[in-house]
Amino acid sequence: MDYEATLSEAREKIDACADATSLKDVERHYLGRKGVVAKHLASIGALPPEQRKAVGQGANRLKQAVQQLVEARAAALDEASLEAERSGEGFDPSLPAARLETGSLHPVTLVTRELEDLFVSMGYTVLDGPEVELDHYNFEALNIPADHPARDMYDTFFVRANGAASGWAEGSRLLMRTHTSPVQVRAMERLDPPFRVIAPGRCFRHETTDATHDHTFYQMEGMVVGRDISVGHLIGAMRTLLRGIFGRDLGVRLRPGYFPFVEPGFELDARCPFCEDGCRVCKQSTWIELLPCGLVHPNVLSAGGIDPEAWSGFAFGLGLSRLVMLRYGIDDVRHLFGSDLRFLEQF
Query: Which residues of this chain interact with ligand FA5, rule CB under 6 A?
Result: 179, 181, 205, 207, 213-214, 217, 219, 259, 262, 265, 292-294, 315-317, 319, 321-322, 333
Count CB-CB contacts under 10 A for residue 33: 6
66: left (phi over 0), alpha (psi -120 to 50) or beta: alpha
Least CB distance to ligand FA5 at residue 249 (A)? 22
Pairwise CA distance, residues 247 & 292, whole Å: 22
Q: Given the complex with ligand FA5, which of 27 and 221 has the nearer CB atom? A: 221
Tally the C-alpha atoms within 13 A of residue 311's C-alpha that lie toward its C-beta.
21
Least CB distance to ligand FA5 at residue 210 (A)? 9
The C-alpha R_g of the chain, in whole angstroms, comes to 35
Q: Given the complex with ligand FA5, which of 58 and 294 has the nearer CB atom? A: 294
Q: Given the complex with ligand FA5, which of 30 and 204 has the nearer CB atom? A: 204
Q: Given the complex with ligand FA5, which of 200 and 319 has the nearer CB atom? A: 319
Residue closest to ligand FA5, measured at CB: 319
Pairwise CA distance, residues 128 & 315, whole Å: 16
Least CB distance to ligand FA5 at residue 142 (A)? 8
Least CB distance to ligand FA5 at residue 176 (A)? 12
Pairwise CA distance, residues 186 & 189, whole Å: 5
Least CB distance to ligand FA5 at residue 162 (A)? 27
CA-wise closest residue to 14 among 69, 96, 78: 69
Residue 275 in contact with residue 286, Cβ under 8 Å?
yes
Residue-level length of the chain: 347
Q: Given the complex with ligand FA5, which of 26 and 220 has the nearer CB atom? A: 220
